[in-house]
Amino acid sequence: MAYDALRTPDERFENLPGFPYAPHYLKNMPGYEGLRMAYIDEGPKDAPVFLCLHGEPSWSYLYRKMIPVFLDAGARVVAPDLFGFGRSDKLKTQEEYSYSFHRRSLLELIKQLDLTDITLVCQDWGGVLGLTLPMEEPERCKRLLVMNTALPMEPESSIVAADLERPADERQTGFGRWQAISQRTDDMPVGHILNMGSGQMLTEGEIAAYDAPFPDKSYKAAAIVFPLLVPFSEKQDGYAVGRKALAFWNGWQGESFMAIGAADPVLGEKPMRRLQAEIKGCPEPMVIKEAGHFVQEWGEEIARAALRSFGGV
């Protein structure tokens, strides 16, 4: 299948504050012919891997405060940009994106790079997708660092699914309201959203870095459609695999660490503690009261706390 895609000019990514890492690329992955996926790959190639998965509408830049901590500890860090984000190619139409489209690409990345001894680091869509990956080849994943994200959990998922059937201005759940807001424009203000979701702590340079992948609205199909793809009901792509993943985490034998941005109005402390209960052996979470949805902006302290919990790399 040939995809009609855009590629953000390289000069958009020059002089990114706090992010000196050169991109690597996977090209023409099976099922993604003609497309190029970008990823950061730093540290010793034979070291344990911290696989950092971003969500929406961010990119691997979100991990700029965590990557140095992992590298200083002796780890290898791999941080891909999902198709439609960061330095990766961007399909022009929303209809070409799906849950399975993104999930398969991450499985292929793990396979092509032959990643093992993985610590899965995930948040937002990085978890909605990423938490379903280890069950495919459990021997590859050893540890989990999870932040503000979700899987299909009942009855919560059905409650949100019912809310999404209401008119946009009558929605009652946090996600229902966010989805309505996200669909009011075809030119999502990405940097503004990241700043608001980070407690308005970003500098102008950091806001510009989050905007960098999107020269204009034609590059934003993935960012705009993602809120429509979160699987809350059985009829949606990804719901069944998410439920299967819950069963996997119910029997998890590896280590885990959870950090919660408690100021997140959608995926704050209550839903994250619900997820904690589904991850066997997950210890008491690190709760950062002032942190919002994009909790990686507090990433240095989270990364250090996770490494202490794990006893190092």
Does residue 124 have an active-site annotation? Answer: yes
Does residue 89 have an active-site annotation? Answer: no
Instruction: Give the closest residue to 173 by CA, choosing from 152, 158, 188.
Output: 158
**Which among 81, 89, 124, 163 is annotated as catalytic?**
124
CA-based max dimension of the chain = 53
Does residue 114 have an active-site annotation? Answer: no
Q: List, by residue number, the catalytic residues.
A: 124, 264, 293
